[in-house]
Amino acid sequence: NPERYSCKAVKSLDRNGYQVVAGGFKPGYIKDIEILTGTPEIQDVDTVLLYMGEKKQQEFYDYVIGLNPRRVIFNPGAENPEFQDLLKENGVEVLKDCALVMINTGSF
């Protein structure tokens, strides 16, 4: 859905030269970027952007931690204190911010 902030973030990251892997619940494409479903194996993950609600996140705790990202950004509406604490315990930087604002202001 092009109106979703997650879709806008993928497009903005791509437009700004970032290497992007899109994940979601439904397969498809954002421009020419395939939306991967499930728990695909991804290497060298720097940042995970979360847009899904707290309840949907629970099944992905181990997966996201296993990606060994440097940081996870919880976008507005995705805040989850339990998951944030788990990530911090595993050495992952946690931010509660808007990725689109970060990209547009150069603070990403």
Residue-wise pLDDT for 40-83, tens only, equals 999 999 999 999 999 999 999 999 999 999 999 999 999 999 99
Burial of 74 (0-12, 13-18, 19+ CB in 10 A): buried
The pTM for the full model equals 0.94
| Residue 5 DSSP one-character state | H
DSSP 34-55: EEE-S-----S--EEEE-S-HH
pLDDT beyond 90 at 2:
no
Residue 61 parent element (H or E): helix 61-66
The pLDDT assigned to 1 comes to 84
